[in-house]
Structures are given as C-alpha cells and as structure tokens.
C-alpha cells in the first residue's frame, strides 16, 4: 500500500483513506462488475459522468494504493489495461453489503437494484464464487469449477453485467 499521512490508526479511517471517495468506489465497481478495464471504457461507459481528469487521478491513486494494476495493452502501446488486485477483489463482500443497504434505504431504480438483490440473495457462497471468477480474470488464477456468472442472472436468464 502507498505510504501516506494517516489521520489515525483506526481501520475504518484507513479503509476510507484508501477507497472512501465516491469516484474510487465507482471505478472499482466498473472494473469489478462491468469488466471495464481501459481508461476509455471507464470514461465512456460511466453512467455517473466522471470527468476525465478525475478518472485519471483515481486510477493513479488506486494503482498506487495497490487496488489496481496497470499493464500495457498488447494492441496499443500507449494504452493500459487495469486489473483488480487481491486486495480489491476482497472488497466484494463490502460492496455487496453497501449495495444491499442502498436497496433498503435509498430509492434506486429497479434495474440498478438487480445485481444487489442477486448478490444479497446468494450471500457469502456467491460472493466467494464471484471472487474466484475475478481472480481468474484479473490475476490469472485457474478457472474455477463453479462460476458465479451463471448465478448472477435475472429470472428470465438475462446476465447481470453492470450495476445499472
């Protein structure tokens, strides 16, 4: 993790210093749940309208913090591909809880609520399987025997590919 001036040694404070701003969590969400792994995809397909300078800043911060890695795109020398690290993958339960809380205590759209509802319904076993899928996609781990992607579908069989 990147050395920084710490307000306190409290683990909640330290976590917030790593991921506590809105845009950092949105970037992690988009990489994690929508498989947006390039600067262009993160900028162009972001529903919240992140500004290009904010996105660049958050990608640098998340990379320096050890939550993302950046590797060269084999198809274009000047572009990079972002991958989640193990530390970022371990945020799945936290994001699942945040999303479930948001469904209960805010007024999200029905469509945006589907992934949160499915993750809450699947619980820790689904989160674990999803984390194994992410390890395969981002860290090169072996393909898991049980994929969470099959479980992250609506009742009509439509795949959930993003949070919106």
6 inside domain? no
**What does the pLDDT look like over 75-91, one tens digit per residue?**
887 899 999 999 999 99
Q: Which residue has the higher pLDDT, 109 or 86?
A: 86
3 inside domain? no
Distances (CA, A) of 14 to 9, 95, 109, 148: 7, 17, 32, 30
5 inside domain? no
> Exposure pattern of 74-101 as b/e (b: 16+ CB <10 Å)?
eeeeeebbbbbbeebbebbeebbeebbe
Among 84, 106, 127, the domain-final residue is 84
**What does the pLDDT look like over 12-47, one tens digit per residue?**
888 888 887 889 999 999 999 889 999 999 999 988
Please compute the mean of the pLDDT values over residues 114-121 and round it to a whole number: 89
Cα separation, 91 vs 75, whole angstroms: 30
Quote the pLDDT of residue 161.
54
Among 69, 84, 99, the domain-final residue is 84
1 closest CA partner among 87, 77, 71:
87
Quote the pLDDT of residue 149.
80
120 and 57 in a single domain? The answer is no
Cα separation, 137 vs 133, whole angstroms: 6
Q: What is the pTM of this model?
A: 0.87
2 inside domain? no
47 and 104 in a single domain? The answer is no
Split into its structural domains, the chain has a count of 2
163 inside domain? yes
pLDDT tier, 160 (very low <50, low <70, confident <90, very high otherwise)? low
105 and 44 in a single domain? The answer is no
39 and 94 in a single domain? The answer is no
Tell me which residue range forms the domain holding 158. 90-164
CB of 106 within 8 A of CB of 119? no
């Amino acid at each position: 993790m990147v050395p920084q001036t710490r307000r306190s040694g409290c683990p909640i404070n330290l976590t917030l210093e790593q991921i506590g701003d809105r845009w950092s969590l949105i970037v992690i969400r988009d990489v994690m749940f929508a498989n947006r792994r390039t600067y262009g995809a993160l900028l162009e397909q972001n529903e919240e309208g992140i500004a290009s300078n904010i996105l660049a800043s958050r990608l640098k911060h998340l990379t320096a913090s050890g939550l993302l890695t950046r590797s060269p795109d084999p198809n274009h020398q000047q572009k990079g591909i972002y991958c989640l690290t193990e530390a970022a993958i371990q945020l799945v339960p936290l994001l699942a809880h945040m999303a479930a809380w948001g469904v209960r205590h805010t007024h999200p759209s029905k469509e945006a609520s589907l992934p949160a509802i499915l993750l809450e319904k699947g619980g820790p076993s689904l989160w674990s399987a999803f984390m194994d899928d992410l390890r395969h996609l981002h860290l090169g781990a072996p393909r898991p025997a049980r994929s969470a992607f099959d479980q992250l579908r609506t009742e009509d069989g439509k795949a959930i590919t993003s949070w919106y």
